[in-house]
Amino acid sequence: MTDTDLDSLLDRMTLEEQVSLLSGEDIWSLPAIPRLNIGKLRVTDGPNGARGSGSLVGGVTAAAFPVGIAIGATWDPELAREIGAAIAEEVKSKGAHVSLAPTVNIHRSVTNGRNFECYSEDPELAAQLTAGYVTGLQSGGVAATVKHFAGNESEIERTTINSEIPERALREIYLRPFEAAVKEAGTWAVMSSYNKLNGTYTAENYWLLTEVLRDDWGFDGVVMSDWFGSRTTAPTVNAGLDLEMPGPTRDRGPQLIAAVEAGEVSRETIRERARNILRLMARTGALHDDRPFEERANDRPDDRALIRRAGAEGTVLLKNEGVLPLAEAPGTVAVIGPNAKVAQIMGGGSAQLNPHYRVSPWDGLVERLGADVLTYAKGCDNHRWEPLIEGGLTIDYFDSTDWTGPAVHSETMEQSVAFLAPPYGGGKVDPRAFTARVTGSFTAEADGPHRFGLHAAGYGRLYVDGALVVDAEEGAWAKGRTFFEEGNDEVTGTVDLAAGQTVQVTVEVRPKTPDNLDVTAFRFGVSRPLGDADIAEAVRIAGEAETAILFVGRSGEWDTEGSDLDGIELPGRQAELVEAVLAANPNAVIVLQTGGPVEMPWIGRARAVLQAWYPGQEAGNAIVDVLFGDAEPGGRLPQTFPVRVQDNPTWSQDPEVYPGLDGKVRYEEGVFIGQRHYDRHGITPLFPFGHGLSYTSFALSDLSAEASDEGSATARLTVTNTGDRAGSTVVQLYVGDPDASVPRPVRELKGFAKVRLDAGASAAVEIALPPRAFAFYDVTTGAWMVEEGRFTLEAGLSATDLPLRTELELGGRTLPR
């Protein structure tokens, strides 16, 4: 649809109709305008799939793809494009037109709870993967919504924090993936973040949304708020925020019409915002989409194969002293750890979905080897919250504030967790003045104390056989880091149970006034805490087995939206378990599943370590493919792993730097983030950015570089597979400006290439370097500057493994923004 067509449609619309398009009708859609045959635009959460219109729990099943950091570890923009294209089909299967993805914020710290959802600490790697994913998604006619724009690199007080970021750091680091999404991939939508940026909420930040996004970069799509992230009427509209989500509107509708009539917002501004919405609807086919709304669960074989391949491509072989790949017949195998029989396939928060299925490492090993050769011991726990009660649960809603009167609506629950969404209680209760009671049972499998836990965005109490065990009611409830910072931290209580004993569990909940996000939710569970005997059992089977594989790490309870980590140690007694198992079987393989770095005090004793992240629904199969060498461990680290949390770029004695103080977080490190920080301070990381081993070996040679008259350059080198099997590696090219007039990193990643070669084969690799590869952002002139002089080019296989070096002489020039 041309601008002329859009103008014609806008001319036929009343002011009220134009304004109606600038806010959601409900959580997931915009209102239709039947008079003009304008359809309903629908959106769905991403980025590792398409959940559809259901809540964060349950709903229509969907394909679960690898999370962002796992895609980042592939270093493969073409694979990101394939994933984006496949997810476009998933979005359409959920009746939606827009995917709220990808998440492209930078890994500033090692403790950000949402690092799992983002690609990298490095702006260039993140930019190229972003462009690939967005291109793939939009090739299927589905809009990408690149988020969160900008400065949302922590989950602490994220809805109100003021991110103070110098403009040079913004331009060179934090805005770079967004710029690539606009300029290189032509993204159709951008989502503003919750936080303030340099003193102004991003949803009403004219400099960010208009001067940078539209004027500098030429963006012509829709800017939407994060959910409940719009706080004002005229300021957001005038700044460039097209769409307030979700609906029903809080800030627009009649208020916006009144603002127009009062002269606070011009009619031309309303027209431009509505034009952007109509353009998005035309691009996605929503403008005249009158098909009945339908959500389907399409479990496609092609998706299964892609997810399994992508999982292996993102798996990083951190260390290998001749242990991997495992022999085709490995003998008896001890399978150990809290992540062995649980498929850790995704992180937590709005990225989670109801997968078609989950393949655990145990499942994958049984499929390959048969159960007869396997033994299992959990060893210890790693959960953050008590495990859910599964099945046999009923929730009753009461149209009262004290659980009195008959239940007006009842539902069954598959698990003891719920995000309650309107219409509450089947539309029979007031969202702010109702109560609910959940009843179910739990049967103990062993004697001993059992710990019950409850947390809620709301108030609640948990009873066991009628006795109060957990009190999270008003007065006892305290704001914590659950349910997007609207919930309390888990409160627990202990009950002694005998094996086989069944108890009645009752939880009573009621809503509370939200602080920022209008969420009512609860979660409760129970477990028997593990102890020394459980670690001893793991040690026993490890010592008796010919092969031991230990599956440890975190889960979406730890790596989640709404909550940063306290540190990067393995939760619970997992480090102790690793040490004990390695003492019993020194050849034990350690498989990590986390959404970011972890400390490894045991690394000197481990001979084989794999980092598998959260690779989607085929997790167990992808991991087993790599363990046995059916697939290459194709991943390279997209984030530096420090020896200890104190080594990471945001560690400071000043809490304003991180986690923030008095509503402000100061990005004091500027452009020295990620590997640039470790280079600058001479800190040796545990594993450097870009690190990853192969099952073969590679040599690089013959680096040369040639500059053009236009200021670009081309680097060339040769890669040879010097091993005895086919494999892949990632050639990385770093640029340095040793004579710069401003502080610049020792080296910056400016190009890379994933190379696959047969044994003994060689390939010529060419990496193009545009003028921006040599530039810094000059805040005094507001332009990108290349200074005349000498530049270094280093090539290698990680940020600390750079055997090749050459130099270029370039003339100075000013580049456009």
Q: Angle 619-627/301-314 helices, nearest 10 degrees?
A: 50
Closest CA to 381 of 317, 451, 332, 445: 451
Separation between Cα atoms, residue 636 and residue 310, nearest integer Å = 13
Q: Which element (helix H / strand E) includes 44?
A: strand 43-45
* Both structure tokens of 216: 């500098």
Axis crossing angle, helix 77-93 with helix 123-139, rounded to the nearest 10: 40
Task: Report yes or no: 436 and 461 within 8 Å, Cβ to Cβ.
Answer: no
- Per-residue confidence (pLDDT) for residue 48, from 0 to 100: 97
Collect all residues with Cβ–Cβ distance below 8 Å to 621 and sequence separation of at least 6.
308, 311, 359, 363, 364, 367
Residue with tokens 């390695």: 582
Please give the class, per CATH, of domain 698-815. Answer: mainly beta
Q: What whole-number distance in Å separates Cα of residue 341 and Cα of residue 620?
A: 9
Contacts of 305 (CB under 8 A, 6+ apart): none
192 contacts 159 by C-beta, under 8 angstroms: no
**According to the model, what pLDDT value does residue 622 have?**
98
Neighbour-count burial of 754, counting CB atoms closer than 10 A to its CB (0-12 exposed, 13-18 middle, 19+ buried): middle
Q: Give the pLDDT confidence score for residue 227 in this predicted structure.
A: 95
Whether residue 226 lies in the annotated active site: yes
Three-state SS for 450-486 is: EEEEEEEECEEEEEECCEEEEEECCCCCCEEEECCCC
Domain residue extents for the chain = 3-284, 318-384+531-633, 390-527, 698-815
Pairing of strands 435-443, 502-510: antiparallel
* 655's tokens: 């809490």
What is the pLDDT, as a whole number, of residue 261?
97
CA proximity to 252, closest of 237, 233, 224: 233
| The predicted structure's pLDDT at residue 427 | 87
Domain made up of 3-284: CATH architecture: Alpha-Beta Barrel (3.20)
318-384+531-633 CATH fold: Rossmann fold (3.40.50)
Give the pLDDT of residue 519: 81
Look up the pTM and report it. 0.95
Count Cβ atoms below 10 Å from residue 284 Cβ, excluding itself. 24
Q: Which CATH superfamily is domain 390-527 in?
A: Galactose-binding domain-like (2.60.120.260)
Low-confidence ranges of the chain (pLDDT < 70): none
In the set 45, 76, 122, 226, the catalytic residue is 226
Query: Could you please report the per-residue DSSP string of 772-790?
Result: GGG-EEETTTTEEEE-SEE
